[in-house]
Amino acid sequence: MSTSTLASLSGELGLIGLFDLSQLLLLNGATGRLVIQQGQRRAFLIYEQGRIVNAVDDEKREGENAAYEIFSWKAGRFEFRPERPGSPRRIDVTTEALMLEAARRIDESGDAPEAEGSEEERLLNRRGAMEELRDVFHRLAREAKRVGLAATEPADILLEELRDVDDRLYCRRGRAARIFHDGTWLTAGELLRGQQTYEDLRARLIGDKMANGTSRGATQFVTMEDGRQVAVTQVGEGADEALWVRLLSLPAPDPSLLDGPWERLHPIVDLPQGVVLAAGPTPEAVERLLHALVALVERRRAGTVLLVTRASVYAHDATEGLVLQADPSRALEVLLAIQPGVLAFEPSAHDVETARQGLRATPLILFGVVCPDPESAAGTWLSGFTGDDRESAMAVMRSRPGAVVYSNGVPMGQERIPFSAEMFLPEDSTLSATPRRRAS
């Protein structure tokens, strides 16, 4: 097998299987096309940042079923060709879930070698080691980046630590900076301690803006040189003055990160009309789930989505349709002007007038709901309405299909978004005493 570089990866399937090969490409975050040749048969697996986003088998079929067929190939030659994906996304499930289902089907067909155990068991046994190796790679990459930044200003090193939506930076005059990452507050090293570090960070982010008439405690929105946007709040005075910094602009979560019952999720996002509650226990969990669902809906429906948000952390790079964002103060005006096929509300941007109009005229509506469990999602959502609006919302829930997609949030140190999903038929009403769930 030729493995001099990832850009030149080819060999025989007898030496390395497609499961191992796909895990290697996933580990490296590879983007390109894997060509598999078996006599006159030819098939393709399409990768984007390590994830399988499409497959084309030897009969020109695309999507998940084509991938399952290709993974059953045990012989032939392969060649990985780095290139931008030219085909549309046909696979939404995570690559890990795709491979596990392929392994399960191989086991059921009786094609797995008995001496080696089931294909699914072998894949599960190797997955933990691959994830540990991936974590090591990520840590090494971060350390290498820090070494590269060692000759730069301390402010650059601190800002480089802001990577995830939940990350926070707290920097106080004369004190070591504190960084919140993966659910833990960390203290920056001696290099980042002292008055000069604070002054450098302050000058980089806000300069004299706070001193020129802006009250302390007000938040400034700043675009940095690398294109990232941050929200900066100055708190305290004199020796107690400090900066609180959080990211504002991140790419929307890729739908392939959703980890749960896709056989229930697909019918929900494909509803011709309905109300979907994207719920979770914290605003961060709900926003991450909601934006992943918006990205998935945009790809599968290829229409216009209006996202109501106050200051969205996530930016959508729409590929099949269009995602427009509007502040609640202007959302109704925009809704009436463009008449989107899908309307979505972040949990902090639930505008009753826009929701009222959307429930009347928009086919599919997604609401972000912060609640402790899936069972309380509908009640929490309804509590945002009063009087006639509440009665109208209840009537809509009883007359249209409804669904609750729930996520407890992303586990520490991981990227995947675990979720559960339940759809309710129009006559079910999750608000009634005896709801009748749709059979899964």
| 147 domain-assigned | no
Which of the residue ranges 82-86, 351-355, 417-421 would you say has the lowest mean pLDDT? 82-86
What share of the chain in percent tops pLDDT 70?
Answer: 79
| 181 domain-assigned | yes
Indicate whether 15 and 124 sit together in one domain.
Answer: yes
Q: What is the rounded average pLDDT of the residues 402-409?
A: 94
d(CA 119, CA 207): 59
pLDDT tens-digit series, residues 87-105: 678 888 888 889 888 988 8
User: Residue for token digits 């739908």?
Assistant: 255
Residues present in the chain in total = 440
Within 8 A by CB and 6+ apart from 364, the residues are 271, 272, 273, 274, 276, 297, 341, 342, 343
Indicate whether 225 and 265 sit together in one domain.
Answer: no
* Residue 430 banded pLDDT, cuts 50, 70, 90: very low
Which of the residue ranges 1-5, 128-132, 228-232, 342-346 would you say has the lowest mean pLDDT? 1-5
| 140 domain-assigned | no
pLDDT tens-digit series, residues 65-86: 999 999 999 888 888 888 776 6
Indicate whether 398 and 364 sit together in one domain.
Answer: yes
Which of the residue ranges 121-130, 145-154, 181-190 would you say has the lowest mean pLDDT? 145-154
Give the strand pairing for 314-315 and 420-424. unpaired
Q: What is the rounded average pLDDT of the residues 243-251?
A: 83
Indicate whether 318 and 384 sit together in one domain.
Answer: yes
DSSP 37-94: EETTEEEEEEEETTEEEEEE-TT--BSHHHHHHHHT--SSEEEEEE----SPP---S-
| 106 domain-assigned | yes
Indicate whether 110 and 156 sit together in one domain.
Answer: no
Compare 290 and 199 and report the one with higher pLDDT.
Answer: 290
Mean pLDDT of the chain, nearest integer:
80
320 φ/ψ angles, rounded to the nearest 5 degrees:
-110, -35
| 217 domain-assigned | yes
Beta bridge partners of 438: none
Domain that holds residue 166: 152-248
CB 189 within 8 A of CB 146: no
**pLDDT exceeds cutoff 60 at 440:** no
d(CA 208, CA 210): 6
Which of the residue ranges 102-106, 175-179, 295-299 would you say has the lowest mean pLDDT? 175-179
**pLDDT exceeds cutoff 80 at 308:** yes
pLDDT of residue 364: 95
| 138 domain-assigned | no
Q: What are the helix (H) ranges across 150-248?
A: 154-160, 195-205
pLDDT of residue 192: 55
CB 76 within 8 A of CB 83: no
Kindly report the CATH number assigned to the domain that includes residue 300.
3.40.50.300
In the sheet where 184-187 sits, what is the strand order? 184-187, 178-181, 168-172, 242-247, 229-235, 219-223
Buried b (16+ CB within 10 A) or exposed e, 185-211: eeebeeebbbeebbebbbebbbeeebe
Compare 359 and 7 and report the one with higher pLDDT.
Answer: 359
DSSP secondary-structure letter at 426?
A: T
pLDDT of residue 327: 92
Which of 248, 276, 293 is a domain's end point? 248
Within 8 A by CB and 6+ apart from 241, the residues are 172, 173, 198, 234, 235
| 429 domain-assigned | no
| 438 domain-assigned | no
Kindly report the CATH number assigned to the domain that includes residue 167.
3.30.450.90
Greatest CA span in the chain, whole angstroms?
Answer: 76
**pLDDT exceeds cutoff 80 at 339:** yes
**pTM of the full structure:** 0.60
* Residue 237 banded pLDDT, cuts 50, 70, 90: confident
Indicate whether 270 and 314 sit together in one domain.
Answer: yes
Indicate whether 293 and 377 sit together in one domain.
Answer: yes
Task: Count structural domains, the chain.
Answer: 3
pLDDT tens-digit series, residues 265-279: 989 999 999 999 999
How many CB atoms lie under 10 A from the CB of residue 403?
A: 23
d(CA 285, CA 118): 36
Which of 220, 248, 276 is a domain's end point? 248
What is the token pair recorded at 228?
Answer: 């990232």
In the sheet where 2-5 sits, what is the strand order? 2-5, 8-12, 77-82, 32-38, 41-48, 51-56
Indicate whether 82 and 204 sit together in one domain.
Answer: no
pLDDT of residue 345: 96
Indicate whether 271 and 417 sit together in one domain.
Answer: yes
Which of the residue ranges 34-48, 165-179, 309-323, 419-433 would you say has the lowest mean pLDDT? 419-433
pLDDT tens-digit series, residues 23-67: 888 877 788 889 999 888 999 999 988 889 999 998 888 999 999
Which of the residue ranges 126-135, 248-257, 321-330, 401-410 would you say has the lowest mean pLDDT? 126-135
Indicate whether 177 and 287 sit together in one domain.
Answer: no
Indicate whether 168 and 233 sit together in one domain.
Answer: yes
Indicate whether 353 and 366 sit together in one domain.
Answer: yes
